[in-house]
Structure formats: structure tokens, C-alpha cells
């Protein structure tokens, strides 16, 4: 995918309004899910806010509400099954969508993350783990369950599917995972059970194991952190072929992982993907013979057995210390998932407004107890991280804010942003899709008022086809806020444009911009269709139509991202560029009468021999009445390639027309072929 | 309850390398000489390696039918989960070794006997692979699985191992030269590593939920106690026709095996009748402990601090007795295991 970016100050006028009223609230609602069970493990019902005591960092808190969340037990409704499961051509990486404080997205639901540690599972174990997960989703998943799929592979934790109750979606993901990839972290023993390699000096596998185990545990910690931003109780079903600590060296990381899980309210439910093992005393034929005297003294057999036990011990410890349970020595791995599912029974939601209003981003330790000597076991997230104000964000926080904003289903409108997507056919399959984003310059005035000399606008764009991300963009633009530029900014919007090369299809574009000084974010979501013009037989195949009120010299661009090579590609690829001048899409389609209007489109005559002339004209209608019409333009020379691309350009003044709303129609005729095409869009004329 | 059974055959590895090294030292690749200055054989600085052809000898030979040894291991274990994170495991392990390496001195004869074949070659060791071994072991293990930073393992093993050869590849089994090359079955006895009772305790605890400087310290300790390893009484004499010593055993005349008076020189004309590995060595004990902590410096750096102690109690432990019957120290400890040592490690991992 090619990406081309340029930022241009455009000359159209956007009303600046900065007399907005700000409501500020300094209270933070904290919601915690608390599971209350009696000594027999059955949930206790009927508690009210008088029964709970909440302490935050040792300070008692006033409880605002307590709500009982009843999850059905026993036989329940199976989850939805939308369609038959088909593997995806490619899995999109996604993220766990965060929730804003006080907002419980997954009420009355059980959250289960299936986490596959692919690095530590040999292929047969991977197959077993995936089959078990599929079986669970097919047969045991209920309508109360929300399941996410995560995987540790290639050195990082990937979220393959955020929490969902769509079983087909989950099955698609699980079927797409390829067994046999990504292993390589399996511990190679360096004791009496180690295979004899015959080498005089080998690598010290012990050191490698140390780092590998640390990395596996650290990955698990990363996963809990992702989940920790949801206040509900979460279970993480951890598939691995054992995890062996090396002496005492991995204990620090184990503690860190367990602490992170307890803090985040995540319980681990490890499943030993090896199932019930009964292997030959010194290992099977997948590894070499240990060879030495240890084979005869029993030392090798002992070391081999002890390694297996220790690898299970770590799984056991992860579970025992976080309130989960490990499934060891059992072939039906699905049982482990079902146990995890059943463990989350009904729970209470306890909400309070914290007495500590500071947005310092620090961890606040929580202690929730019951009054009135009610004997019960309480299970809850042991604390939460207070919010942060943007100015206190470090780079990781900033990056996360962008990711979170991109994940949110609802748009964010702190920053006004508008967007226009066009398409032009490049060849028989590919289309060039220029995206123009417009932000009123007045939006940056706030940053200026805070005394910033310059600001950076972060742009994140993502184009998805269905579930899969097909292209994305990450860019930042540095804008000077002082001097001449600043005066310009107050009156004019900023246009940022980028280009992608896509195939025909239906896409969703999500674009996000953030002003780095104030931290304000604007998002824009838009679904667009790129038609397959090769199949257009009825009408004249045309590109989308670009309406513009401005042409700028490429060199005049305030900012051009990328290197000179990219600039060249802009000129080569973008049909909007002609003779060093670039047509700036209007985006808002509001035109000033004082300026000319530019209309640009392309018509295609794929394979036409010889080239036939194309006639086109632009008409403006005002309330169904023709207000203006350009003279027909006949173009008979197209590009020399197979597409025979015919560019159609119009430029006409608007000063003769009164202000108001119009409908702009472009008509393209192919007189010889007997075909015609129309394109319409509303436009607005202002003084 | 989980019951597991398993069986496997495993071959010795890296057996050829030491053999190749030995063969490289034999004629015609190299000459081994034993020279002495004498009027018949004057040695000079110019030629210090002059020897009559007859004294050129080989020191090592190998059976052309030599084959690699292997062990058959079979195991049955029963595992039962108990409350409080405990697991009880009972294991039986059987090991049968086949084609173990046997080494002997061909054409040698006991002191006082007639040379059976004066024209036959002698003075070299000969390696064959006709030995065997058998070991049975029962083990009981109580294990507290790791949780809340605490784990411990208690192991008791009762085992017996018998062989007539040096077992194990990678040259780890060492060399066992038979006393009587015509009666290799006389070497059948307890294995060198045979330890009847062995108890092992492993404790590891990491402090959790403690205040800042006390938290995340890991203490671990390993205690091993077991009965002694078998030792062979040795009669120091050169085997006739060779320069080899150490393979001749005395005659046992009854009484305490650890008293020199229970042995005499072998009767003339035959080999000593004391059995190989017929003395049980001193009981074994070891106690090692360590304490350490990993300080986490951000996500990438770990700073380990650790103190390891070997023989933490500074308890004297003797690995073996003196078993040379003519020695005044017979039956007394030969050496002791090292005294207590502390090792401090500071390590930055990234």
C-alpha cells in the first residue's frame, strides 16, 4: 500500500467558534466487581451497600451503589451462532477495547480470555489446545460468556479478537491460527536428562531458558495489563505445555506477573496442553539419548520426571496465587475452560466516588470487606490506576490514548475533523484512494493560547475490510504556531492528505487526529465503496468527482511528510496533481462566491481501440431549476495505457450565482458508445 | 490419582572418542616405549628414545565385535493430589544395562602361578562390551507445589544396582579393569554408584506481602543424606606381565570389612577372593543453602544479588575410606569434602 501525505493550508473559510462552555467535574467514579462466596463456594445474595466497606489507600470511601449481577448457572442459553465458521485469509491484530472509568461495558457478562502461548507449545500441543478451544466455543459457550483470543508469538502479545459473544467469529479466529508455527521457547534441559549433542562445548541452555521463561511470564503480565483496564472480573485461560522456572532466577518475574494479575483482577486458569503424560522415563524419540552414566544411575530419569513436575508447578502457582485453578494431567482440555467459566458466578458491582480527586496516574490500593461479621470470601481487583491529565502523559500513555481512541466504537469530537475519500482507477485491479482530512485552524488556537510555539498533530488512520485491517497510517505533523502561519491558521483550515492503493471492495476508514499540546482528539469514521469499474458495462466508467476551490503549488505545502522519493510518487500517482499544482479537495463542499470552482474526474475506456471522445459538462441546480451549466467539454485524448484514462477538468466562476444550496451534477457522455454517467452532490455557496 | 508407566531404550553416546584417542597412541601410529639406561641399551641426550624392538608394545586393544551399550528403563509411578497443594508420588524405576564396557589384562596370571603362555601378547588392556547391569529403585516423593512463594520436595529413594562393568557413555562410567581376565563374572558386584538409602529435601521460599526491603527475597536450601557408596579393597601389587596396578584384590579372611586384619595378601597361585565393591563407604550428607533477591530496574534490567553457601553447616563429610589393605590408614577416611564456602553473586541481566 502506498501512502502519501501532505499538509496544505487551504483558502476556504470555516467559521471559527470558540465560545464553547466547559463543564468540569473533578470526581472519579470507581466501579469494582466483587464476588462474594461463602465457605462452600456458593455466591451470597442479598447484600446491600450497608454491608460493604471500601477503603482506598487506607481511607474509607462512601459507597454510591451496590448492584447484584446475576449470571445464570447450570443449563443456559448457548451463545449466538451467526454463520458457518470459515478461516480468515488473514487475522487482523486488534486490541482489548478499554472502558472509560465508571462505565461498565460488559455488565452481566463473564469475561474469558483464551491465551495461547505458542512459543512454548510443540505442534501437537498447539493442535490440542486449539481443538479444545474450538470445542468449548461450539458446545459450551453460553450467552453470558464473552470470549477474547490472545496469543503470544513472535515475541509479543497479540489480541486476535476482543471480547465477543459471536461464536462464529471466534471459531473463524481459532481456525485461522496455524499449528506448528512460532515454537522455539521450549526449555532445553541442561541437567542429567539433557540430550548428548556430542559437542565439546555447547551453548549454555540454562541461560537461554532463564530468559525464555522470563519472557513468557512477562508476556503474561502484558496480557493481564491489557485486561486490567476493564473493571470486571476476568479469567485468563492460559494454554501452555508447562512453564519451568530455572532455579530461583525466574521468581522475580513470576512475582511480578502474579502481582500484576492480582492488581488487575485477572485470575489465571492454566491448562497444560500436554494433557496426561506418560512418557518413557528419559524422554521420547523427539530428543536424543542423554547417553551418560545418568541413564544407569537413575539420575536422568529423576531429572526428566522432576522437570515435568516443575513445569507443572509453575502453572499451578500462577493459578493458586491468582484465584484460578490449573488443569494438569487431563486430556480433555475443554474441561479447564469450562471450570474457568463456572468459576465466575454472580457478583456485586460496588461503585463509589473516590475522595482522592488527583489525576496522578498512580496505583490506588483497594480493600473491600464486609461488615456485620458475614463469613465470606471476597474476590476483587486489588486496586486501579487513577486517571492522568494529558500534560502528565509520557510517550507510552500518549500512544495508548491514540490506540484506545481508535478502538472506541463511539466517535470523539473534541477536535473537529472532516474527511473526504476519492478513488481513481490505476490499472485493471488497483485504485488510488486519496484521503483528504480537514481540521479548522481555529482548533489549534487553544494550543496557541497556552503559549505553545508549535504543536504536533498526530494522525492515525486505519482502513478495514470487514474484520481485517488492510492499510493503516501513522503520521505526525509539526506546525509552527507563531508568526505569519499563526494568523493564517486563525482563518483557514488545515488540510492533510494521504493516499492508499486499494482493490475494489467495501471499506471502513477510521481517522483520528490529536493535537499534542492539548491532547484533544477527533475521530471520523466512514464507510466507502470502491466499485469495480472493469465490470461497468451500462454506464461510462468514471472515478469519483473532486470538487475544489483551490489549487496549490506542491512546493507551497506547509508540510510534506516523507522523503523526496515519496514526493515524486505523489506526483506520479495522484491524479490530483497536474503540472506541479495540486487540487485540494474541498471536503466540506462549501464554496465562496469570490473564488472559482474546480471540478475534476476521470473517465475510463478500458481496452477501447481506438480511443473514443468523451463529452462532459457540469450543471448546478437550485431547487430543481437549472442555475448554471458549463459548456460541454469534449476530450478525445486519453492516456496511452490500457485504461485509456480521460481526465476531465472544469473551472468556472461562481460570482454570478446567488448564495444558497445547490446540487452539483456532472454528466459524462460517450456518444459513440451510447453510454452516459451522472454524478451528483449538494454544494453550498457562501459570500 | 494418576498412574503412569513408561519404557524406553537409550544408547550410550560419544563412546568412540575415547577409544579413538587410545588407538591413536598405539603402533604403528605411535610407539610406546618403556626405556631404562643400561649397558645394553645406552641412552644419550641425542637419542633418549632408543629401545630394542622387542620392548615396543601396545597398551590398548579393542574387541573387533565391540558394540555400543544401551540401557532399558522402565518406570511406573502413582501420583496422588493431597490437600494443601501437596502431591504424593510413588515411583518404581528399573534399569537394565546391556553391552556395558569391560576391560581386562589378557594373558596375565596371579602371583605365584605359572605363566600360562609366555609367547602370548600381554601388557595391554583389552576392551570388550559384554558387561551388564541391573538396578531397581523405589522412590517416594512428597511435594508441595509452588504457591505463595513456598515450595518443598521431600524424596526418599531405596535402590540397589549391580553390574560387572563400567556403565555409561561419554566415558562417564570410568574404567573398570577386571582382576581375573579369565573370570569376568567375579567382577559382578554392587555398582560404584549404588546407594541404598537416599533422602533429599529441597525447600524454597520467597517472601511475599512484606514491606519494601524484606519482600521478594528467595531462600532455598537443599539437604541430601544417604548411605555410603561401595568401595573395593585393593592389594597393591603389579599384575604379572604388565605394569598395571590397582586391579588386584586381597584375600578376605572374615571379620570387620573395615579392619586391615580382615585381609591378607592373596594366596600364591590365585587371585584375591575379596569381592569388588564389598566395603560400604561412609554415610553421605550435604547441606547447601542460598539467599538472593532480584531487583527489577524497569522492564529491561534485572539486578540479581545472591549468596550461595556450600556445606552451610561446615559439617565434615568423608567421601570414602582408604581401602589399600597394606596401608596403615586402612579403614580411615581418605579425604573430606570441602569446608563451608560462601559465594556472593551480583549480576545485571538485560
> A1 pLDDT band (50/70/90 cuts)?
very low
B161 part of contact set with chain A, CB < 8 Å: yes
> A18 pLDDT band (50/70/90 cuts)?
very low
In B277-306, the residues whose Cβ lies within 8 Å of chain A are 290, 292-296, 299, 302, 304, 306
> A14 pLDDT band (50/70/90 cuts)?
very low
pLDDT of residue A7: 45
**Contact (CB<8Å) A291/B290:** no
Q: Which of A293, A295, A321 sits opposite B147 (nearest CB)?
A: A321
pLDDT tens digit sequence for A506-540: 998 888 888 877 778 888 888 899 988 888 888 88
**Contact (CB<8Å) B147/A284:** no
Judged against a pLDDT cut of 80, whether residue A371 lies above it is answered with yes
DSSP letters spanning A175-191: HHSPTT-S---PPPP-S
Interface test with A, best of B6, B90, B199, B220 (most A CBs within 10 A): B6
pLDDT of residue B163: 94
Q: Which pairing describes strands A505-515 and A454-465: parallel, antiparallel, or unpaired? A: antiparallel
Mean pLDDT of A207-215: 76
> A9 pLDDT band (50/70/90 cuts)?
very low
Judged against a pLDDT cut of 70, whether residue A642 lies above it is answered with yes
A592: Cβ contacts below 8 Å, ≥ 6 apart: A12, A13, A549, A654, A685, A686, A687
Higher pLDDT, A264 or A188: A264
Mean pLDDT of A180-200: 63
> A561 pLDDT band (50/70/90 cuts)?
very low
**Contact (CB<8Å) B95/A196:** no
- Report the C-alpha gap between B89 and B2 in whole angstroms: 9
pLDDT tens digit sequence for A235-284: 999 999 888 887 777 888 888 888 888 878 889 999 999 999 888 999 88
Residue A59, SS3 per DSSP? strand
CA torsion sign for B99, B12, B75, B224 is positive
Higher pLDDT, A16 or A531: A531
3-class DSSP string for A416-442: CCEEEECCEECCCCCEEEEEEEEEEHH
Mean pLDDT of A312-316: 92
Q: Which of B87, B93, B204 sits opposite A281 (nearest CB)?
A: B93
Mean pLDDT of A101-123: 79
- Taking phi over 0 as left and psi of -120 to 50 as alpha, with beta for the rest, A533 belongs to alpha
Higher pLDDT, B176 or A408: B176
- The residue length of chain A stands at 687
Q: Which of B10, B193, B293 sits opposite A297 (nearest CB)?
A: B193
Cell numbers found for residue B109: 596370571
- Report the C-alpha gap between A76 and B142 in whole angstroms: 42
Question: What does the mean pLDDT of chain A come to?
Answer: 79
**Contact (CB<8Å) B6/A320:** no
Whether residue B286 has a cis bond before it, omega within 30° of 0: no
- Report the C-alpha gap between A240 and A218 in whole angstroms: 14
Judged against a pLDDT cut of 50, whether residue A12 lies above it is answered with no
Residue A28: Cβ within 10 Å count: 19
3-class DSSP string for chain B: CEEEEEEEEEECCCCHHHHHHHHCCCCCCCCECCCCCCCCCCCCCCCCCCCCHHHCECCEEECCCCCCCEEEEEEEEEEEEECCCEEEEEEEEEEEEEEEEEEECCCCCCCCCCCCCCCCCCCCEEEEEEEEEEEEEEEEEEEEEEECCEEEEEEEEEEEEEECCECCCCCCCCCCECCCCCCHHHHCEECCCCCCEEEEEEEEEECCCCCHHHCCEEEEEEEEEECCCEECCECCCCCCCCCCCCCCCCEECCCCCCCHHHEECCCCCCCCCCCCCCEECCCEEEEEEEEEEEEEECCCEEEEEEEEEECCCCCCCCCCECCECCCCCCCCECCCCCCCEEEEEEEEEC
pLDDT of residue A6: 43
User: A456 forms bridges with which residues in the sheet?
Assistant: A478
Instruction: Among A33-42, B204-213, B270-279, name the most confident range.
Output: B270-279
Question: Minimal CA–CA distance to A643: which of A424, A448, A488, A440?
Answer: A424
> A5 pLDDT band (50/70/90 cuts)?
very low
Burial class (CB in 10 A: 0-12, 13-18, 19+), A330: middle
Residues A137, A142, A143, A146, Cα dihedral to 10°: -50
> A2 pLDDT band (50/70/90 cuts)?
very low
**Contact (CB<8Å) B137/A298:** yes
Do the beta carbons of residue A296 and residue A260 sit within 8 Å? no
Q: Which of B2, B204, B292 sits opposite A276 (nearest CB)?
A: B2
Q: Which of B73, B91, B163 sits opposite A282 (nearest CB)?
A: B73
Mean pLDDT of A116-122: 86
Least confident of A61-65, A67-71, A142-146, B155-159: A67-71
pLDDT of residue A4: 42
Q: In angstroms, what separates the C-alpha of A207 from chain B's closest C-alpha?
A: 10
B95 part of contact set with chain A, CB < 8 Å: yes
**Contact (CB<8Å) A248/B149:** no
Mean pLDDT of A124-138: 90
Residues of A within 8 A of B203 (CB-CB) are: none
A563: Cβ contacts below 8 Å, ≥ 6 apart: none
Instruction: Among A43-57, A406-420, B68-82, name the most confident range.
Output: B68-82
pLDDT tens digit sequence for A457-479: 888 888 888 777 788 788 888 77
- Report the C-alpha gap between B145 and B82 in whole angstroms: 11
- Report the C-alpha gap between A523 and A229 in whole angstroms: 22
- Report the C-alpha gap between B67 and B99 in whole angstroms: 7
Mean pLDDT of A119-144: 88
Q: In angstroms, what separates the C-alpha of A336 from chain B's closest C-alpha?
A: 17
Higher pLDDT, A523 or A11: A523
**Contact (CB<8Å) B8/A290:** no
pLDDT tens digit sequence for B16-58: 888 998 899 888 888 777 677 888 778 888 888 777 666 667 8
Judged against a pLDDT cut of 70, whether residue B151 lies above it is answered with yes
pLDDT tens digit sequence for B99-139: 999 999 998 989 888 887 878 888 889 999 999 999 999 99
Judged against a pLDDT cut of 90, whether residue A446 lies above it is answered with no
Judged against a pLDDT cut of 60, whether residue B284 lies above it is answered with yes
Question: What does the mean pLDDT of chain B come to?
Answer: 89
Least confident of A569-573, A579-583, B149-153, B240-244: A569-573
3-class DSSP string for A326-394: CECCCCCCHHHHHHHHHHCCCEEEEEEECCCCCCECCEEEEEEEECCCCCCEEEECCEEECCECHHHCC
pLDDT of residue B275: 92
- Report the C-alpha gap between B104 and B102 in whole angstroms: 7
Residues of B within 8 A of A317 (CB-CB) are: 145-147, 151
**Closest chain B residue to the Cα of A323, Cα to Cα:** B147
Q: In angstroms, what separates the C-alpha of B39 from chain A's closest C-alpha?
A: 47
Question: Minimal CA–CA distance to A557: which of A595, A583, A575, A537?
Answer: A583
Judged against a pLDDT cut of 50, whether residue A502 lies above it is answered with yes
Least confident of A13-22, A145-154, A321-330, B308-317: A13-22
Interface test with B, best of A244, A293, A302 (most B CBs within 10 A): A293
Judged against a pLDDT cut of 90, whether residue A132 lies above it is answered with yes
B133 part of contact set with chain A, CB < 8 Å: yes
> B323 pLDDT band (50/70/90 cuts)?
very high
**Contact (CB<8Å) A295/B168:** yes
Taking the model in full, what pTM does it have?
A: 0.73
pLDDT of residue B17: 87
Residues of A within 8 A of B308 (CB-CB) are: none
Amino acid at each position: 500500500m502506498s501512502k502519501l501525505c501532505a499538509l496544505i493550508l487551504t483558502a476556504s473559510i470555516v467559521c471559527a467558534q470558540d465560545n464553547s462552555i466547559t463543564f468540569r467535574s473533578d470526581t472519579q467514579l470507581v466501579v469494582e466487581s466483587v464476588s462474594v462466596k461463602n465457605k462452600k463456594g456458593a455466591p451470597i445474595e442479598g447484600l446491600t451497600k450497608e454491608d460493604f466497606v471500601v477503603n482506598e489507600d487506607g481511607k474509607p470511601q462512601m459507597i454510591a451503589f451496590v448492584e447484584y449481577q446475576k449470571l445464570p448457572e447450570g443449563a443456559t442459553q448457548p451463545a449466538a451462532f451467526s454463520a458457518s465458521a470459515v478461516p480468515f485469509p488473514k487475522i487482523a491484530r486488534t486490541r482489548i477495547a478499554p472502558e472509560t472509568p465508571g462505565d461498565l461495558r460488559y455488565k452481566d457478562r463473564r469475561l474469558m480470555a483464551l491465551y495461547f502461548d505458542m512459543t512454548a507449545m510443540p505442534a501437537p500441543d498447539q493442535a490440542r489446545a486449539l481443538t479444545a478451544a474450538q470445542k468449548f466455543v461450539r458446545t459450551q459457550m453460553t450467552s453470558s460468556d464473552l470470549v477474547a483470543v490472545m496469543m503470544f508469538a513472535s515475541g509479543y502479545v497479540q489480541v486476535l479478537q476482543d471480547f465477543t459473544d459471536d461464536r462464529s467469529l471466534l471459531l473463524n479466529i481459532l481456525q485461522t491460527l496455524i499449528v506448528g508455527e512460532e515454537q522455539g521457547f521450549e526449555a532445553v534441559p541442561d541437567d542429567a536428562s539433557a540430550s548428548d549433542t556430542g559437542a565439546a562445548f555447547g551453548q549454555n541452555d540454562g541461560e537461554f531458558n532463564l530468559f525464555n521463561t522470563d519472557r513468557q511470564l512477562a508476556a503474561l503480565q502484558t496480557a493481564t495489563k491489557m485486561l486490567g483496564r476493564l473493571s470486571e472480573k476476568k479469567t485468563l485461560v492460559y494454554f501452555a505445555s508447562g512453564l519451568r522456572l530455572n532455579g530461583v532466577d525466574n521468581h522475580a518475574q513470576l512475582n511480578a506477573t502474579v502481582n500484576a494479575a492480582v492488581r488487575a483482577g485477572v485470575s489465571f486458569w492454566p491448562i497444560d496442553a500436554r494433557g496426561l503424560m506418560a512418557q518413557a522415563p528419559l524422554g521420547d524419540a523427539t530428543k536424543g539419548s542423554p547417553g551418560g552414566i545418568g541413564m544407569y544411575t537413575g539420575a536422568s530419569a529423576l531429572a526428566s520426571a522432576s522437570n515435568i513436575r516443575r513445569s507443572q508447578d509453575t502453572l499451578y502457582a500462577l493459578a493458586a496465587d491468582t484465584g484460578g485453578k490449573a488443569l494438569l494431567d487431563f486430556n480433555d482440555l475443554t474441561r479447564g475452560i469450562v471450570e474457568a467459566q463456572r468459576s465466575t458466578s454472580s457478583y456485586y458491582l460496588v461503585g463509589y466516588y473516590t475522595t482522592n480527586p488527583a489525576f496522578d496516574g498512580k496505583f490506588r490500593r483497594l480493600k473491600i470487606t464486609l461488615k456485620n461479621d458475614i463469613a465470606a470470601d471476597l474476590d476483587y481487583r486489588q486496586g486501579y490506576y487513577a486517571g492522568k491529565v494529558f500534560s502528565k502523559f509520557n510517550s507510552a500513555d500518549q500512544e495508548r490514548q491514540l490506540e484506545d481512541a481508535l478502538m472506541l466504537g463511539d466517535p470523539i469530537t473534541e477536535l473537529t475533523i472532516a474527511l473526504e475519500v476519492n478513488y481513481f482507477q490505476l490499472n485493471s485491479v488497483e485504485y488510488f484512494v486519496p484521503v483528504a482530512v480537514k481540521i479548522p485552524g481555529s482548533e489549534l488556537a487553544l494550543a496557541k493560547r497556552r503559549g505553545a510555539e508549535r504543536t504536533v498533530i498526530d494522525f492515525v488512520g486505519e482502513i478495514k475490510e470487514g474484520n481485517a485491517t488492510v492499510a493503516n497510517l501513522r503520521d505526525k505533523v509539526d506546525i509552527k504556531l507563531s508568526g505569519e502561519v499563526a494568523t493564517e491558521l486563525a482563518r483557514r483550515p488545515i488540510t492533510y492528505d494521504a493516499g492508499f492503493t486499494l482493490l475494489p471492495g467495501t471499506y471502513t476508514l477510521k481517522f483520528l487526529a490529536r493535537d499534542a499540546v492539548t491532547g484533544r482528539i477527533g475521530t471520523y469514521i466512514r464507510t466507502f465503496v470502491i466499485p469495480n469499474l472493469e465490470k461497468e458495462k451500462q454506464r461510462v466508467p468514471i472515478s469519483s468527482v473532486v470538487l475544489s476551490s483551490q489549487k496549490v503549488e506542491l512546493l507551497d505545502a506547509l508540510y510534506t511528510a516523507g522523503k523526496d522519493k515519496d514526493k515524486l510518487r505523489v506526483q506520479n500517482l495522484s491524479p490530483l496533481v497536474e503540472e506541479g499544482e495540486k487540487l485540494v479537495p474541498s471536503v466540506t463542499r462549501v464554496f465562496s462566491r469570490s473564488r472559482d470552482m474546480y471540478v475534476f474526474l476521470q473517465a475510463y475506456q478500458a481496452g477501447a481501440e481506438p480511443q473514443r471522445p468523451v463529452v462532459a459538462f457540469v450543471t448546478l441546480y437550485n431547487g430543481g431549476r437549472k442555475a448554471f451549466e458549463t459548456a460541454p467539454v469534449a476530450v478525445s485524448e486519453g492516456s496511452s495505457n490500457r485504461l485509456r484514462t480521460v481526465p476531465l477538468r472544469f473551472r468556472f466562476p461562481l460570482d454570478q450565482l446567488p448564495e444558497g444550496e445547490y446540487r452539483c451534477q456532472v454528466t459524462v457522455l460517450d456518444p459513440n458508445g451510447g453510454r452516459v454517467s451522472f454524478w451528483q452532490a449538494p454544494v453550498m455557496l457562501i459570500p | 490419582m494418576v498412574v503412569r508407566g513408561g519404557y524406553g531404550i537409550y544408547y550410550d553416546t560419544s563412546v568412540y572418542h575415547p577409544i579413538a584417542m587410545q588407538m591413536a597412541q598405539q603402533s604403528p601410529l605411535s610407539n610406546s616405549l618403556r626405556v631404562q639406561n643400561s649397558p645394553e641399551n645406552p641412552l644419550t641426550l641425542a637419542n633418549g628414545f632408543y629401545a630394542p624392538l622387542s620392548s615396543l608394545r601396545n597398551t590398548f586393544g579393542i574387541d573387533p565385535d565391540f558394540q555400543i551399550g544401551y540401557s532399558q528403563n522402565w518406570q511406573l509411578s502413582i501420583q496422588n493430589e493431597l490437600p494443601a497443594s501437596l502431591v504424593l508420588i510413588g515411583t518404581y524405576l528399573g534399569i537394565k544395562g546391556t553391552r556395558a564396557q569391560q576391560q581386562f589384562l589378557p594373558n596375565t596370571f596371579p602371583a605365584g602361578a605359572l605363566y600360562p603362555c609366555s609367547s602370548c601378547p600381554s601388557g595391554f588392556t583389552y576392551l570388550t562390551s559384554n558387561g551388564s547391569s541391573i538396578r531397581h529403585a523405589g522412590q517416594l516423593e512428597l511435594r508441595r507445589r509452588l504457591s505463595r512463594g513456598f515450595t518443598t520436595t521431600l524424596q526418599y529413594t531405596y535402590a540397589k544396582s549391580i553390574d560387572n562393568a563400567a556403565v555409561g557413555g561419554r566415558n562417564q562410567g570410568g574404567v573398570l579393569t577386571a582382576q581375573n581376565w579369565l573370570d569376568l563374572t567375579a567382577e559382578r558386584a554392587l555398582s560404584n554408584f549404588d546407594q541404598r538409602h537416599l533422602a533429599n529435601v529441597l525447600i524454597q521460599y520467597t517472601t511475599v506481602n512484606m514491606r519494601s526491603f524484606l519482600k521478594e527475597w528467595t531462600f532455598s536450601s537443599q539437604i541430601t543424606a544417604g548411605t555410603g557408596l561401595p568401595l573395593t579393597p585393593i592389594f597393591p601389587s603389579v599384575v604379572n606381565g604388565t605394569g598395571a596396578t590397582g586391579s588386584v584384590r586381597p584375600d578376605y579372611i572374615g571379620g570387620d570389612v573395615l579392619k586391615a586384619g580382615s585381609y591378607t595378601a592373596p594366596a600364591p597361585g590365585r587371585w584375591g577372593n575379596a569381592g569388588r565393591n564389598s566395603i560400604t563407604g561412609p554415610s553421605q550428607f550435604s547441606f547447601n543453602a542460598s539467599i538472593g533477591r532480584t531487583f527489577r530496574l524497569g522492564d529491561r534490567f534485572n539486578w540479581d544479588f545472591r549468596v550461595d553457601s556450600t556445606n552451610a553447616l561446615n559439617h565434615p563429610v568423608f567421601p570414602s575410606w582408604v581401602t589399600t589393605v597394606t596401608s596403615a590408614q586402612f579403614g580411615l577416611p581418605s579425604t573430606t569434602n570441602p569446608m563451608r564456602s560462601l559465594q556472593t553473586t551480583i549480576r545485571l541481566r538485560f
